[in-house]
Amino acid sequence: MVTENLKTVHERIFEACSKSSRNPDEVTLIAVSKTKPVEMLQEAYDAGIRCFGENKVQEIMDKYEVLPKDIRWHMIGHLQRNKVKYIVDKVDLIHSVDSLKLAQEINKEALKKQVIVSILIEVNVAKEDSKFGTTLETCIELVQEISQLPQIKVKGLMTIAPYVTNPEDNREVFKELKKLAVDIKNKNIDNVDMKILSMGMTGDYQVAIEEGATMVRVGTGIFGERDYNKG
């Protein structure tokens, strides 16, 4: 199933790229494998996937142990400060930084482990109460503050768009995130680049690509529905 689904997702990415005259090489697919067993991740790996997205520190640590070491792990969920130390040297990119305090903790742990950590700033574009993230208004200031931290490299922005049934309803959200990234880039802040725009999930990744996404985070579309009751 996973292999078939991946084929479909790749085709749709390709379609969205053609439609918006973009090069498919500019779009990285993150396979969001949270709650899924390692056998399914292995199947995706065998089909060529190297980037996996998880939202729980413990789950990254467990899966990291048993799966191939050339996997690039993406932390996409809300990160608690007391858990930063477990993953700073295991993840390729943290998508979900939304406060200076969290960034300072990452910087501190990264220094201990002598690594540079790449991060994205999570922006709650639609200002949903249920979601984490900085706002469009405060993002630039946060980026400026975080740019001072020597062990951190800000590589771009991430957003989780609202749940909608018509993906077109999120087009404006994606446009706004892109626009914010351009504004920040134009400020030429040291130690900051805006090459990565992580936006688009199973329901809306094609629209996100048309609006400039360079990373899409697809879970259900690859691994099927998640069953949170299984534990």
Ligand X SMILES: *Cc1c(COP(=O)(O)O)cnc(C)c1O
Would you give the distance in Å from CA 106 to the centre of its chain? 17
Assigned token pair, 97: 């930084």
Tell me whether residue 151 or residue 223 sits nearer to ligand X (CB atom).
223
Asked if 212 is part of the footprint of ligand X (rule: CB under 6 A), the reply reads: no
Assigned token pair, 206: 């094609």
Tell me which of 41, 201, 207, 215 binds ligand X, using CB under 6 A.
201
Tell me which of 48, 62, 220, 224 binds ligand X, using CB under 6 A.
220
Q: How many residues bind ligand X (CB under 6 A)?
A: 14
Asked if 76 is part of the footprint of ligand X (rule: CB under 6 A), the reply reads: yes
Asked if 133 is part of the footprint of ligand X (rule: CB under 6 A), the reply reads: no
Asked if 17 is part of the footprint of ligand X (rule: CB under 6 A), the reply reads: no
- What is the chain's length? 231
Who contacts 95 (Cβ-Cβ below 8 Å, separation ≥6)?
A: 53, 74, 75, 76, 119, 120, 122, 158, 198, 217
Residue nearest to ligand X (CB): 219
Region from 7-15, 20-28, 167-175, 219-227 binding ligand X, contact rule CB under 6 A = 219-227
- Residue for token digits 């990415």? 13
Please state the φ and ψ torsions of residue 37, each to the nearest 5 degrees.
Answer: -70, 155
Vertex 152 angle, CA 149 and 153, to 5° = 120
Residues that bind ligand X (CB under 6 A): 32, 34, 55, 76-77, 160, 201-203, 217-221
